[in-house]
Amino acid sequence: MSNIPAPGDRVEIVLVYQSLLGIYGDRGNATVLMKRLAWRGYDPVLTVVEPGDPLPDTGRVYLLGGGEDAAQISAVRALAIDGGLHRAVDRGAAVFAVCAGYQIVGKSFTVGERDEVIEGLGLLDVTTTRGPVRAVGEMLTRWKGASGEQQWISGFENHGGYTRLGPDAVPFAEVEVGIGNCDDGTEGAVAGTVIGTYPHGPVLARNPALADHVLELGLGRTLEPLVRPEVDELRRQRLAAVRRLAR
């Protein structure tokens, strides 16, 4: 994106199809991004878009959450007609997609007992099919952050689809606890400013470094670190809890 916002500037976060992709509390990701922008002196604006409403071409970050099969199909078909996410990526905005949202931005996913193949948006080179067992539970992954330094990511996965990456996508993280994409030890996928991932939590509330990374992708700039002891303590407790469960 050509213009890089500075503190005091308006920054739009777009929450996509909350009525369809909002059953797992992933709206909290928007709340986290808004708060972390406000703490740094930006003027955050949240735009909630529902099916039938056009996606704005002014967003810096577009968020998709989890949803059930029927809602997922409705969402991907509406988004394909709208074309707004493709335009967003073309101009450098960030797309952060969780669970069903992750599958939607891929090439295809399957639903139902007959494993009907549904075409995705193709923003990530991934395909999803029904897995042998449902992935449910706390998870812990290793993410190589923007600086290249390893970060732990915690969250809660709940998905029946197993996702395979093609050559034009790279894994977002490596699995320490949980299933993630499938049986290859990876979790999520990344291509440019598009991130797909499975954990809920909401995941950006549990992992502030990831929240800032998403903002940096959308803003096109590096952000100064935030000192928030209460956030760091919550993160410490979450990581400890996941490790205890894994013993």
Render pLDDT for 6-27 as a digit per residue (tens, 0 to 9): 999 999 999 999 999 998 899 9
Instruction: Count CA atoms within 13 Å of residue 54 on its CB side.
Output: 6
The answer to pTM > 0.75 is yes
Q: Exactly one of 159, 182, 200, 213 is catalytic; name it.
A: 200
Mean pLDDT of 206-229: 95
The strand pairing partners of 219, in sequence order, are: none
| Tokens 């991932």 found at | 197
Average pLDDT over residues 158-178: 96
Which amino acid is located at 35 in the chain?
K
**pLDDT tens per residue across span 191-205:** 999 999 999 999 999
What letters, b where the CB count within 10 A reaches 16 and e where it falls short, cover 117-126? ebebbebbbb
b/e sequence 60-78, b meaning 16+ C-beta within 10 Å: bbbbbbbbebebbbbbbeb
Ordered domains of the chain (ranges, CATH): 10-246 (3.40.50.880)
pLDDT value, residue 245:
77
How do 10-16 and 43-49 pair as beta strands? parallel
| pLDDT higher than 70, residue 167 | yes
Mean pLDDT of 45-52: 96
Q: Which of 99, 159, 182, 213 is catalytic?
A: 99
| Segment holding 137, helix H or strand E | strand 126-144
| Residue 200 is among the residues annotated as catalytic for this protein | yes
Q: Is 118 helix (H, G, I), strand (E, B) or coil?
A: strand
Mean pLDDT of 165-193: 96
**Distant-in-sequence, close-in-space partners of 59: CB < 8 Å, separation ≥ 6:** 12, 13, 14, 47, 88, 93, 218
Average pLDDT, the chain: 94
Could you tell me if 35 and 67 are in contact, meaning their C-beta atoms sit under 8 angstroms apart? no
Q: Is 99 a catalytic residue?
A: yes
**2 has a pLDDT exceeding 80:** no
Classify residue 214 as exposed, middle or buried by CB count within 10 Å of its CB (0-12, 13-18, 19+).
Answer: buried
Give CA–CA dist 138/130, Å, rounded. 20
Residue 33 has pLDDT above 80, yes or no: yes
Q: Check pLDDT > 80 for residue 1.
A: no
Q: How confident is the model at residue 67, as a pLDDT?
A: 94
